[in-house]
Amino acid sequence: MLVLVNDQIKSREDVRIDLEDRGYQFGDGIYEVISVYNGQPFLMDQHMQRLERSARELMLDLPVSIGRLKEKVQALIEQEGRSTCSVYLQVTRGAAPRRHPFPTSATPVLTGYIMDSNPPRDLHAEGIRAITTDDIRWLRCDIKSLNLLGSVLAKQKAVEQGCQEAILHRSDTVTEGSSTNVFIVKNGTLYTHPANHLILHGITRHAAIQLAEKLNTNVKETPFKREDLYEADEVFVTGTSIEICPVTHVDNRAIGNGQPGDVTKQLQRAFYDLIV
Ligand code: PDD
């Protein structure tokens, strides 16, 4: 396996991660996951802009320019000879003796590698089941930080209950999924939580909103309640790995008739057309 370290592509065996890297000890870093279709990174500019924003919010200097990073991501995909896969990128504040304040001596480190992934088209046709659970994460979910325990615990709870996603809520207001954004459809209108500090500003979420608008579907970025989920005509989630995927059951209750809905299917088709 090849690994991108800053702007160098190396063999995995030649990469050394320091014991006192702050990503490892504090989760002090950020990441991105980018889908690759036919050897081409999908919506790469949007992912790069979000990486820059996350870095800025954490006062983290990116060790490589975005222009150079894009070239290296493309080179990594080519050298690995991959067509459909995803690219994982992370940047940590670097290695320094373990103390909480930002170290003056550390240099941020970027690492990247190719992960196996396949768009789950079977799930797209069948839909997934979700649970709801309290959103116990911090209040800067807009930063794509390495601190993922709130999401990990929620996803684990879903899996233990035979479900594929956990839909998070704060005092009954639905925020997002553990690794997805959540939409409901009611009387032909789409609702999703506004892009503020309580959710990740998902790139697939944004694409879905744009596609809906093109299809003349009304979209409201308005918070909604857990009860609205149960009573929705359709529920779907969006994310880099899962694309646009219907949710047919929430907390064991069927959404609508318990089958993927028409608005969701229409958006899925429009999304597939974007990929080519
Ligand atoms: N997860 N919300 C959360 C909490 C996420 O972690 C993600 C992505 C999304 C969807 O964002 P996007 O459409 O930009 O992928 C929403 C990534 C893929 C992950 O952690 O694997």
Q: For a substitution probing ligand 1, which of 181, 241, 243, 244 has the most ligand atoms within 8 Å of its CB? A: 181
CA of 238 to the centre of ligand 1 (A): 8
CA of 51 to the centre of ligand 1 (A): 13
CA of 154 to the centre of ligand 1 (A): 14
Q: Delimit the domains of the chain by residue range.
A: 2-115, 121-275
pLDDT the model gives residue 85: 97
Q: For a substitution probing ligand 1, which of 36, 136, 179 has the most ligand atoms within 8 Å of its CB? A: 179
pLDDT tens digits for 175-205? 999 999 999 999 999 999 999 999 999 999 9
> Hey, which residues are catalytic here?
144
pLDDT tens digits for 208-219? 999 999 999 999
pLDDT tens digits for 85-121? 999 999 999 999 999 999 998 999 999 999 999 889 9
Q: Kindly tell me if the per-residue pLDDT of 276 is higher than 80.
A: no
Is the C-beta atom of 46 inside 6 A of ligand 1?
no
ipTM: 0.98
- Residue 80: count of CB within 10 angstroms of its CB: 15
Looking at residues 138-150, what average pLDDT do you find? 98
Residue 275's pLDDT band (cuts 50, 70, 90): very high
Looking at residues 26-46, what average pLDDT do you find? 98
CA of 243 to the centre of ligand 1 (A): 10
CATH class held by domain 121-275: alpha beta
Give domain 2-115's CATH architecture.
2-Layer Sandwich (3.30)
pLDDT the model gives residue 84: 95
- Among 1, 234, 10, smallest CA distance to 128 is for 234
Is the C-beta atom of 239 inside 6 A of ligand 1?
yes
Lay out the sheet containing 85-92: strands in order across: 8-11, 2-5, 109-115, 85-92, 29-37, 40-41
Q: Kindly tell me if the per-residue pLDDT of 206 is higher than 80.
A: yes
